[in-house]
A and B are shown apart, each in its own frame.
Chain A
Amino acid sequence: MIASSIKLAPASALHLVQGAQQGRGQAVRLVDVGKTYTISGRALPVLRDISLNINAGRFVTIVGASGCGKSTILRIIAGLEKDFTGSVRIGEQAVNGPSFDCGLVFQDHRLFPWLTVRQNVAMALRARKLPTEQRNALVSAHLDLVRLNGFEDAYPHQLSGGMAQRAAIARGLVNEPSVLLLDEPLGAVDALTRLHLQRELQRIWMTKGTTMIMVTHDIEEALLLGDQVVILQPRPGPAQQIIDVNLPHPRSGDENTLLALRKKIFATLHVGDEDETKTGGGSTATRQPP
């Protein structure tokens, strides 16, 4: 098991605050999950027979072409999609709506523009009946975790895209969910910030031990972070493929194992011979634009 090789950072203020078992990852189990959207009267299947077993405390990444339903999987696990078939469990609990077990970080940070960074993060604790002191300690600890010290009182429009996304991650984590879902959280930040935040996410995950499921279209990112990479096919169906990444964290991204796996995934996704599969063997040069 890869999970056993992961060394967790020594207990920090985070763990002192949260006390007992909170914040520890839980397993996520999807059985035959399907989802069909109805668009102007026509049924449009986006997911069919998706089954996944995600062990507690792991980092799983999901890649696939746009439109393959990868964000929908996260929305189902998060409890934001009501009509789906199959079953989803977090730990022992069946998902039938948003729950405190599960945090979600969106591609656009979705911080409320009229609240400061601190208020945005603290908002996530409003529904919990916590003493003020504990609430403040949790907020501060998570702002420290994402390294936003000094920006607590800034408004979202005063932050860079990367910093806003850090704040959104703090908001997703401050409840100490056992599962954190990340829907292309780095999709909208610039390339350098992205590289940096990938390492930050790795560090945060190693600190917290939360189960993390991240959707991305960046295969290198998926390999750098994931213990497992789930590859979804463009057409809805059960034909997803799971690649184990047997490499301890923290990873730097240029390990040979990762490079080899990248080639393998590219082959799976038919990168390079894409034109031929699409046009049924026709040559790229003579292909007419649609």
Chain B
Amino acid sequence: MLARPPLTRRLLHSLSNSGLLLPIGLIVIWQAADRATPRFLPNPADLIHVTIGLSAHGLLAQDLLASVVRMLCGFAAGATGGAIIGIALAASPRLHTLLGPAVSAWRQLPIFSLVPLLTLWFGLDEKAKIILIALATSIPVMLNAYEGVRAVPKKYTEVADMLHLNPLSRLLLLQAPAAMPFLLTGLRQGMAFAWMATVASELFLAAAPGLGAVIMAGQERMRPDMIIIGISLIGGVGILMNAALTGAIRWVLPAWRATDQQDNLS
């Protein structure tokens, strides 16, 4: 029997394997080097203290919830719209001729350049924010949905031809399912874009609770601790949402993947 390695080494080993060694190590060094840190960099222990203080009043939770809800509203609208437009463009050659050039010009436009216009039209409130988030989400979703439908293998479209599937059956039974892996990739990118746009909209168009507003308040009150807490929460939420979506994709896709492997073999 081999002797079990000491606990500390096992702990270190599992930390480095999970990729947590670097961040945790940095936090430890950060805390240890407290005296040497500049004036506007609070140490981790202070941050935890402040976080608990802010949460006690329910403020952070309110901001977190406001941002997530905002993001989900914009994401839902943008993903639905993007998927519909992408699929329609790919399925209808006529629509593609009509809208194709406009769409490719639109996708090149940096979305945040629209902020001033959106503010003029919709003011500083929720409407403008959600529209910005939806627009940001829609572009990657639309492009991937389009690619997915275009990439439907000819061997399947020939089957649909032989069976006289009408456009609706074709969409439901062939194009949408075949485009699913692409669509899910688009949703993942779209969610990253949505979260980015959520924070940006809160920075540009404050005047409502949100994690972006927490950061802005921190800047105004010269409170770097608030800014760092805001950033950490934004990063954490992003990681969690991406993990959730990736998990959902893994759960949905096995049937598709099994087919690909089969096709590669034959």
Q: Enumerate chain A interface residues (CB-CB to B < 8 A).
A: 78, 80, 98, 100, 102-104, 106, 108, 110, 112-115, 123-124, 126-127, 155-157, 161, 171, 175, 188
Contact = CB atoms under 8 A, between A and B. Distances in A.
Interface in B219-266: 255-256, 258-259, 262-263, 266
A96 to B, nearest CB: 13
A80 B156 contact: no
A123 B165 contact: yes
Contacts of B177: 112, 114-115
9 contacts: A80-B161, A98-B164, A100-B164, A103-B162, A112-B156, A112-B177, A114-B178, A126-B165, A157-B258
Contacts of A114: 177-178, 180, 255-256
A108 B255 contact: no
Contacts of B262: 156-157
Interface in B164-189: 164-166, 169, 173-174, 177-178, 180
Given A113-B255, A113-B258, A114-B177, A108 B162 contact: no
A60 B178 CA distance: 35
Given A114-B255, A123-B165, 12 more contacts: A80-B158, A80-B162, A106-B159, A108-B263, A108-B266, A110-B155, A112-B156, A112-B159, A114-B180, A126-B166, A127-B165, A161-B266
Given A112-B173, A127-B169, A155 B255 contact: yes
B7 interface: no
B163 A123 contact: yes
Query: Which of A102, A103, A127 has the largest count of B CB atoms less than 10 A from its CB?
Result: A127
A156 B163 contact: no
Nearest to A106: B155
A156 B162 contact: no
B157 to A, nearest CB: 10
Contacts of A100: 164
Contacts of A175: 163
A188 B259 CA distance: 16
A78 B163 CA distance: 11
A113 B256 contact: yes
Given A112-B177, A123-B173, A127-B169, A104 B162 contact: yes
A113 B162 contact: no
Contact of A98 (B161, B256, B266): B161
Contact of B156 (A98, A102, A110, A124): A110
A113 B181 CA distance: 13
A103 B163 CA distance: 8
Contacts of A188: 266
Contacts of A103: 162
B127 to A, nearest CB: 38
Query: 3 closest A-B pairs (Cβ-Cβ)?
Result: A113-B259, A157-B258, A127-B164
Nearest to B254: A157
A171 B262 CA distance: 20
Query: Which of A78, A98, A104, A113 has the largest count of B CB atoms less than 10 A from its CB?
Result: A113
A75 to B, nearest CB: 9
B153 to A, nearest CB: 9
A104 B164 CA distance: 12
A126 B258 contact: no
Nearest to B163: A124
Contact of A156 (B158, B169, B259): B259
Query: Which of B161, B164, B165, B180 has the largest count of A CB atoms less than 10 A from its CB?
Result: B164
Contacts of A80: 158, 161-162
A188 B155 CA distance: 16
A123 B156 CA distance: 13
Nearest to B261: A157
Given A113-B258, A157-B255, A127 B162 contact: no
